[in-house]
Amino acid sequence: MRILGIESSCDDTACAVVEDGERILSNVVSSQDKLHERFGGIVPEIACRAHIENILPVMQQALDDAGLDFSAVDAVAVTMTPGLIGALLVGLASAKAVSWALDLPLIAVNHLEAHVYGAWLSGEEPALPAVSLVASGGHTVLYLTEGPLSHRVLGSTTDDAAGEAFDKVANVLKLGFPGGPAIERAARSGDPEAVRLPRAWLDRDTLDFSFSGVKTAVLYHCLGQNASRRDMERAAYTPQFVADVAASFQEAVVEVLAGKTRLAAEKTGASGVILGGGVGANNALRQRLLSELSPLGLPVVLTPPELCGDNAAMVAGLAYHLHAAGRTAPLSVEARP
C-alpha cells in the first residue's frame, strides 16, 4: 500500500511516499530556515504563507521522486496535531482536497507519535514496550510505547522544549537559527565542564523536564543579570568562549534527557528505548543514551539522523498502521494546535 504523507505542523513543508509503512519511495522537505533566520525563531504568519506557496510543488516533487503519479497512491495522510494552527491547516486542507478529488482514504496523524515512528523507519524493530523520548523544538515527551499506535505519556516539559532551549541559547551566542545543529558544531571544540550550569532534575522521581533554568543560566553567564536586548546585540564573544558555553549547555541538556530516559526505563521495566524528534539528531545525545542504557542491557533504537527533523515519511509510515487498524478520518476532521 502506497501512502502520500503531508507534514506542515511547524516550519517545514514536507511530502513523502511510503510503501507498506517501511519503504520510503520519496521524502521531500522544503525548509523555511532562511525565512525565519533573521527573527531568531519561527514566525507563525510567515510559516503559513510559505506552506501555501510550497505545498503543491513539494507534493509534486514527492510523486516525481517516487516515479509515480496520483493514480498509484492508495491513501493520503497528514499531520493534524499538534503544531501551529495556521500551518497545520495548510497541510490538512491539501490532504482533504486530494482525498476528496481522488476518493482516497484520509488518515490524520499525531506529529509526536510520527516522531516515535521514525525508529521503525530505521529498519530495526524496537523491543516493546519501549520508553520513547521525543525531543523537538516544540515538545519534550517521554512515552511508554506498546506499539506504533499505543503511547502513554510518562512525562513532559514543564516549560521550554529541549530544542527551544537550543534555539534560544544559540541566539544568545549569535550562532543563528536553527540553533541545535549550530550548538552541536560549536560544542565540538569546547570544554563541556568549562561553565557550571544547573541540571533541572526537579523532584528526582518525576519524569517531567524543565529547560528554562539552564537557558537563563547561560544568558546570565554571557551577559549578566540585567542585560537589555541592545547589550545582547552588542556583545562580542571569542570563538573559544562560544565553544565552551555551547559544550557546557549541550552537556547539561543531554545529561538530563538521557538520565530521565534511563529513570523511565527503570521505573516501567521497559524492554527497549526509542529516540526521535529534531534534537534526536544530536550526536552527543545519541551517544549518551547508548551509554546510559547499555548497563541495563536495553536495546536503543535511534531514529536515523536524517529522519529526526520534521518530515512526511514518518507521517506516511505511521499512517499505514492507522489505516490497517481502520482508523481513517472523515473529511470533517479538524486540526488541533
In the complex, the residues that contact ligand KG4 under the rule CB under 6 A are 10, 136-138, 163-164, 166-167, 178-181, 184, 277-279, 281-282, 309-310
Q: Report yes or no: 192 and 250 within 8 Å, Cβ to Cβ.
A: yes
Cβ-based nearer residue to Zn ion, 160 or 310: 310
Rounded alpha-carbon distances, angstroms, from residue 99 to 78, 94, 96, 105: 11, 9, 5, 6
Q: What is the CB neighbour count within 10 angstroms for residue 245? A: 25
Residue 16 β-bridge partners: 5, 27
From the CB of 116, what's the least distance to Zn ion, in Å?
A: 11
What letters, b where the CB count within 10 A reaches 16 and e where it falls short, cover 296-320? eebbbbbbeeebbbbbbbbbbbbbb
Q: What is the CB neighbour count within 10 angstroms for residue 45? A: 10
Q: Provide the H-helix boundaries in 103-211.
A: 111-117, 162-172, 179-187
Cβ-based nearer residue to ligand KG4, 81 or 99: 81
Q: Which amino acid is at 168?
A: K
Cβ-based nearer residue to ligand KG4, 184 or 208: 184
Q: Which x/- pattern, by CB under 5 A, does the window 305-334 give for Zn ion? A: -----x------------------------
Question: How many angstroms separate the CA atoms of 256 and 302, rounded?
Answer: 18
From the CB of 310, what's the least distance to Zn ion, in Å?
A: 4
**Counting contacts by CB under 5 A, is residue 79 touching Zn ion?**
no
Cβ-based nearer residue to ligand KG4, 98 or 114: 114
CA angle 64, 65, 70 (to 5 degrees): 40
Partner in contact with 163, chosen from Zn ion, ligand KG4, none, beta carbon below 5 to 8 Å by kind: ligand KG4
Cβ-based nearer residue to ligand KG4, 178 or 190: 178
From the CB of 227, what's the least distance to ligand KG4, in Å?
A: 23
Partner in contact with 222, chosen from ligand KG4, Zn ion, none, beta carbon below 5 to 8 Å by kind: none
From the CB of 3, what's the least distance to ligand KG4, in Å?
A: 20
From the CB of 2, what's the least distance to ligand KG4, in Å?
A: 25
Cβ-based nearer residue to ligand KG4, 184 or 292: 184
- For residue 251, give the C-alpha cell: 552537556
Of 193-212, which residues contact Zn ion (CB under 5 A)? none
Cβ-based nearer residue to ligand KG4, 31 or 158: 31
Partner in contact with 279, chosen from ligand KG4, Zn ion, none, beta carbon below 5 to 8 Å by kind: ligand KG4
φ/ψ of 291, rounded to 5, equals -75, -30
Partner in contact with 129, chosen from ligand KG4, Zn ion, none, beta carbon below 5 to 8 Å by kind: none
278 CB contacts (<8 Å, ≥6 apart)? 135, 136, 137, 163, 178, 180, 308, 309, 310
From the CB of 164, what's the least distance to Zn ion, in Å?
A: 12
Question: How many angstroms separate the CA atoms of 95 and 55, rounded?
Answer: 10
From the CB of 309, what's the least distance to ligand KG4, in Å?
A: 4
Cβ-based nearer residue to ligand KG4, 188 or 267: 188
Which one of the spans 92-100, 176-184, 248-256, 304-312 is the region binding Zn ion (CB under 5 A)? 304-312
CA angle 132, 58, 10 (to 5 degrees): 45
From the CB of 5, what's the least distance to Zn ion, in Å?
A: 13
Cβ-based nearer residue to ligand KG4, 21 or 137: 137
Return the H-helix or E-strand segment holding 300. Answer: strand 300-302
What letters, b where the CB count within 10 A reaches 16 and e where it falls short, cover 98-133? bbeeeebbbbbbbbbbbbbbbbbbbeeebeebbbbb
Partner in contact with 200, chosen from ligand KG4, Zn ion, none, beta carbon below 5 to 8 Å by kind: none
Q: Report yes or no: 88 and 78 within 8 Å, Cβ to Cβ.
A: no
**Counting contacts by CB under 5 A, is residue 136 touching Zn ion?**
yes
Question: Which residues lie near Zn ion (CB under 5 A)?
Answer: 136, 310
